[in-house]
Amino acid sequence: MKDEKSHQVAEGIRWQVIALLEDRESVVQRGLCDALDRFSEIARSSISFEAAGQIARSLAILLADYEGQLLDEQLRIQVNAIVQSLLEALALDMEAQPPEDLSPLVTPISPTSERVNSHVALFVDGIAVQTMLQEVLRQEGFSTITVNSLDELAQINEEFQPAAIFADISLIQLMPNAIEIFSELRQKTNPPPHLFCFANANDAPARLDAVRLGATRFVSKPVDVVRLIAVLKGVTVQTQQKPFRVLLIDDDSILAKIHEMALSSAGIEVQILSDPLQAPYQIFKLEPDVIVSDVYMPGCNGLELLAVLRQDDALADTPVVFLSSENDPRRQIEALDLGGDDFLTKPVDLPLFVATVIARAKRSRRLKRSRSEYHRMLERVREIERQLPESFPGDDKAQFQVDYIFPDQIPPADYVLTEGAGKPGVS
C-alpha cells in the first residue's frame, strides 16, 4: 500500500520536473518542492523507494529557493542530473524498465537490531570451551542453549530462538545441508540470529565457509572472549552506535547542502566548511571519520589541502574522498597518488556517494580501533614491566600478578559500525 502511494505521488511530480527540464522558459512551479518532500517522507518507510526518496529530498532542497524563477544554465545541469537519477530510481520513464533483481554475490549477514531475547546457542567443540563460554555469557547477562547438531538447532522452540549462534566450523562442515539450515533459520526468524563461526585464523576454507553461511563474524581460535562479547553486545544493540562524522569541504553552498542531506539521511553527522584553509582546525575539533572535499576552491584547492593533511601523521589514516566536476583521469590519478581514497565526479549518484562515504568511514573506524588497541596493549605491557621485581626471574620466591585485559578496558562502542548505507551493523 505504501509503495502504491509512493507511485501515485511520484507520478504527480514526474511531469512537473520533466517540463521544467524540457522548457527553458519554464519556471519552478510552486508546490513542486512540497510534492518532493511529501514523496521523500512516504518513501522513507518503503524499502523499494528508499533511494528514490533520498534523491527527491535532495532535489527539493536544491529547488527550494527558486520557486517561481527560471533556472540558470549551471543550475539546470545539476537539476537535470538529479532528476534523471530520480526517474531511473523509480523506473518511471516510458522506455525504462525496472532493473532485474540481482542475487547477492555474498550471503547477507543478519542486521544489527535490538533483540527481545538474550539466548545464545552453542554448537562448539570441546567441553572446556563450552563451559568457558557459558560462564562468560552468563556474567554478561546472556543465557545459553547447547545443541549437538544443526538439526537440533533448527528445531528449537520459538520461545527459545537465539539472538546469536556460536558454532565451530569444523562441526558445521560435517553437516552437508548446513547452508540450507542456516538459510531457513534466517527466513523463519525475525530478526534472524547472528552467526559467529570459530576456526583457526589461517584456515582459509573455513573463512570462506563462514562467509557463505552468512556469519556476522569469523572468530579466530583461541577465542578472544572480550572482543567476542563486545561485538555481540554491539549487534544486539546493548551498546549504542556512535554515528559516523564527516567534514564536508565545498565552497558551493547549494551542492554542499544537498550532499549534507544525503549523508544526514543515512544517520551521519556532517559539518560543512566553505573555507579549506580552516580545515586543519576543524578536523582537530571534529575528529571526522571521513573528509569529503571539492577540488577547485578559492584560496586552496583540494589537492593542496590533501597534501597539507597527509603531512600530519595523526591524519594519515583519515580517508579523503574527492567530489568534483573534474573528469580528467590524469587529475584523478594525481589526487589518488597524493593519498586520496576515492574520486567521485559531480553530479554524483547520491546512493553511490553515501555508500562510498560509509565504506570509507567503516575502514577508518577499524584502523582507529586497531591503533587504539595497540596503544592500550603497549601501555599494559609497560605497566607489567614496572611491576616486575628486580630479582625476577632468578629468584624463585619472586611473585607478581598479571591480569589479562578486562572487558572494561576495551570500549564496546569501538566494535559497533554501520553496516550498509544508513543501516546499523558491526565490523
CATH number of residue 142's parent domain: 3.40.50.2300
> Per-residue pLDDT for 191 more than 80?
yes
Is residue 334 left, alpha or beta, with left meaning phi > 0 and alpha meaning psi from -120 to 50?
Answer: alpha
Convert the pLDDT of each residue in 95-140 to its tens digit. 444 456 667 888 888 888 888 788 999 999 989 999 999 999 999 9
- Taking 70 as the threshold, does the pLDDT of residue 6 lie above it? no
Both 230 and 252 in one domain: the answer is no
Query: Same domain for 406 and 259?
Result: yes
Within-domain flag for 365: yes
> Is 114 domain-assigned?
no
Q: What is the pLDDT of residue 23?
A: 63
What would the mean pLDDT of 18-38 be, rounded to a whole number? 69
What domain range includes position 301?
240-427
- What local confidence, expressed as pLDDT, does residue 385 receive? 78
Q: Do residue 422 and residue 350 come from a single domain? A: yes
pLDDT over 50 (residue 406): no
Better-predicted residue by pLDDT, 4 or 40:
40
Q: Is the pLDDT of residue 403 over 60?
A: no
DSSP assignments along 102-146, one per residue: PPPSSPPPPPP---S--EEEEE-S-HHHHHHHHHHHHHTT-EEEE
Instruction: Give Cα 186 distance to the centre of its chain.
Output: 21
Cell of 223: 577465542
Domain boundary among 74, 90, 106: 90
Q: How far apart are CA 153 and CA 257, in angstroms?
A: 50
Domain boundary among 214, 238, 262: 238
Mean pLDDT of the chain: 79
| pLDDT score at 288 | 94
**Cα–Cα distance between 37 and 56 in angstroms, integer?**
7
300 with 416, same domain?
Answer: yes
Residue 144: inside a domain: yes
Amino acid, res. 402: V
Instruction: For residue 111, tell me if it sits in a domain.
Output: no
Q: What is the pLDDT of residues 235-263, one digit of tens each?
A: 888 777 788 999 999 998 878 888 898 89
Angle (CA) 276-281-287 rounded to 5° is 105
Task: Please state the φ and ψ torsions of residue 425, each to the nearest 5 degrees.
Answer: -170, -160
Are the C-beta atoms of 298 and 274 separated by less than 8 Å?
A: no
Q: 373 versus 230: which is more confidently predicted?
A: 230
Q: Which of 92-101, 143-152, 170-179, 320-329 has the lowest mean pLDDT?
A: 92-101
187 shares a domain with 293: no
Q: What is the pLDDT of residue 47?
A: 56
pLDDT at 318 over 70: yes
Taking residues 18-45, what's their average pLDDT? 69
Question: Within a domain: residue 95?
Answer: no
Q: pLDDT band at 400, cuts 50/70/90? A: very low
Tell me how far apart the alpha carbons of residues 257 and 254 are, in angstroms, rounded to a whole number.
5
Residues 263 and 215 in one domain: no
Residues 302 and 394 in one domain: yes
Q: Which of 16, 49, 52 shows the shortest CA–CA distance to 35?
A: 16
79 and 205 both lie in a single domain: no
205 pLDDT above the threshold of 80: yes
Q: What does the pLDDT read at residue 207?
A: 93
By C-alpha distance, which of 173, 166, 176 is closest to 146?
A: 166
Query: What pLDDT band is residue 159 in, cutting at 50, 70 and 90?
Result: confident
Q: What pLDDT does residue 213 have? A: 92
Query: Are 193 and 247 in the same domain?
Result: no
Cross-strand partners of 194: 164
220, pLDDT greater than 80? yes
CB-based contact 313:367 (threshold 8 Å): no
Distance (Å, rounded) from C-alpha 284 to C-alpha 43? 37
What is the number of domains present in the chain?
A: 3
Please list the residues that pair with 165 across neighbouring strands: 121, 195
pLDDT tens-digit readout, 330-364: 999 999 999 999 999 887 888 889 999 999 998 88
Q: What is the mean pLDDT of residues 63-83?
A: 75
Final residue of a structural domain among 179, 214, 238: 238
The average pLDDT across 220-232 equals: 88
More confident call, 41 vs 255: 255
- Of 277-286, 346-355, 373-382, the poorest mean pLDDT is in 373-382
Residue ranges of alpha helices (H) inside 214-324 are: 225-235, 253-265, 279-286, 302-310
Residue 26, pLDDT > 50, answer yes
Q: Are residues 223 and 287 in the same domain?
A: no
The predicted-structure confidence for 42-58, as pLDDT tens digits, reads as follows 766 665 666 677 777 77
Alpha-carbon dihedral sign for residues 164, 169, 171, 173: positive
Same domain assignment for residues 191 and 79 = no
In a domain, 98, yes or no: no
| pTM of the complete model | 0.68
Which has the higher per-residue pLDDT, 258 or 218?
A: 218
For residue 110, tell me if it sits in a domain: no
Residue 326 in this model has a pLDDT that exceeds 70: yes
Q: Which residues fall within 8 angstroms of residue 389, CB to CB, at 6 or more apart?
A: 395, 398, 400
Do 215 and 276 share a domain, yes or no? no
17: confidence class by pLDDT, cuts 50, 70, 90: low
Q: Is residue 96 part of a domain?
A: no
